[in-house]
Structure 1
Amino acid sequence: MAPTFTLTNSAPMTQSFQERWYMNLNSLMDRALIPQCGNGDDLYIITGAVPSDHRVKDRVSIPEFVWLAACCAVPGGGWAMGFIKHTRDSDIIEDVMVKDLEKLLPFKLQLFQDNCGETEQDTEKMKKILEVVNQVQDEERMVQSQQSAVPLSSTTSKRSGPLPPEASEESSRSLLGKLLGFIATPVIKLFQLTYYLVVAILKNVACFLWCVTKQVVNGIESCLYRLGSATASYFVAIGEELLSIPWKVLKVLAKIIRAVLRILCCLLKAVCRLLSIPVRVLVDVATFPMYTMGAIPIVCRDIAMGLGGTVSLLFDTAFGTMGGLFQVVFGVFKRIGYKVTFDNSGEL
């Protein structure tokens, strides 16, 4: 750790990480952010670091990651993006939205007003920026690989001289060990594979038994729950019926009493009406059958006389009609005979 970051207003970083981060910032600014935001006049940049739990001498906190937020406020073609680089995985630059970056900050700050028009962004420019970010990461990996290859080449050049006999014996022993390791490696791998298969089978069997047991327990619980709910509802219904029996008995008694009272009222009304009828009317009602029986013969006689008169009237009508017809026929024939006699006398 470099001893230059001792103040609390500085973020302590290793020299290599600091150099790579500054190189990334310069590359992003020159090749992605400024070209995709006009001339950079409407480009706004905010950088910072998020502290971690590790501290230098229990005083200064080491950053967990550093971040950069960029906002291009060009009307109709703006964009807003954030970039994160962790101190542990220093080769990766993560691209995030501004809202997501604000959630990662300790105090949940709002970096740009209205998130710099995050809802209306130029996706084409953002894609180009991400392409440049990937190129910067690839270039950083290439630089790191070249730097790591330089000391390896120097060490190999130093060891390229003739080896002493002890070194040759050690090399032969190492070759024998490598040969034995090459032969034993498949067997070890086979045992490892068998072990992994057995463990996987046991895990699957245990999971299967656990699932079956869980299903059985759930089924038993559901059955018990249904049985308990049915029993409770049955007892509740029985209790309701038992509680309703006295009320129903009272209702029936009330209806019986009301019916009896109605019958008594009807009887009283009938008695009152009978008592209110005059005696003459009662005598007439009592003598009505006698008068009726005495009037039956008279009525029958009148009916018989009426029927006889009707029959005699029918006979008189029939005979009168026939007599009239005979008279008409006789008169017609008489006239016809007189005319014939008159005609014959003229011819003579």
Structure 2
Amino acid sequence: MTPSFQKRWYMNLHSLMDRALTPQCGGGDELYILTGAVPSDLRVRGRVSVPEFVWLAACCAVPGGGWAMGFVQHPRDAEVIEDVMVKELEKLLPYNPQLFQNNCGETEQDTEKMKKILEVVNQVQEEERMVQSKGSARGTRSALLPPEPAGERSSLLGKLLGFIATPLIKLCQLIYCLAIGVLKYVVYFLWFVTKQVIHGIESSLYRLGSATISYFLTIGEELASIPWKVLKVVVRITRAILRILCCLLKVVCRVLGIPVRVLVDVATFPVYTIGAVPIVCRDIAVGLGGIISLLFDTAFGTMGGLFQAIFTVCKWIGYKMTFDNPGEL
């Protein structure tokens, strides 16, 4: 495929899509396009196959207004775009493939839209022929016109312009050198700052990575030591259980080593204790009665002694009064 034919086919594809196919298919939402080329037996340098023709198949699957068409263009007659039905295009292709399912609704195709598409295709071909004819006419006209002679320049004007332009050029060169120098140092400074920032970021990332690795190593060590710690705990629990069993065994042995009399006394101790409760209660009651009797005796004795003392005092007072007044008697 020559570059000119390839370019023309590319332009034709865009023209067909933009002006003919898409407008007649509801904006192109349900438009399906297949393109390709059929190789021929002619090869360039025995390697690249020259296409026999290029083709395009279009299917518009709009319900109630769909259509399907095919277009073929040959390199030997690049100005003509042939329109064919999809079935005919399938017969032209190798192995007769089926391009669209159910031939894109062949029984419900809108012929009016197909006619409009063909009209636009013919219009595109006419415009292309007119453009090519105008281009060839311009090329012929430019080839027939003679070249214009170049005018001579004045040496004095050239010197004057050179005298005026030289300082400006030097000044521009100086400004350019200064700008380049400043820009260079700015770039160096930015590069230095960038290196420092990158170095700081690298060191931070390195420290972060080291801390992360240390953290995970510590966690790994702790996780690895968990079975050993569990084993140690199990051993300690086992030792404690064995000690408890030993203590129980010692207690049993000592209990079995106590004389039978002591065991009988220990067993009969609650019976004797319960039997002694009434006696103890009786003794407590007798003791309480004695205490109450003693209190009564003490009270009555105290009152009797008090009355005796009062009687004695009164008797003594009466006797003394009788002794002091004997004449009255």
* TM-score (ref. length: structure 2): 0.45
Q: TM-score, with normalisation over the residues of structure 1?
A: 0.43
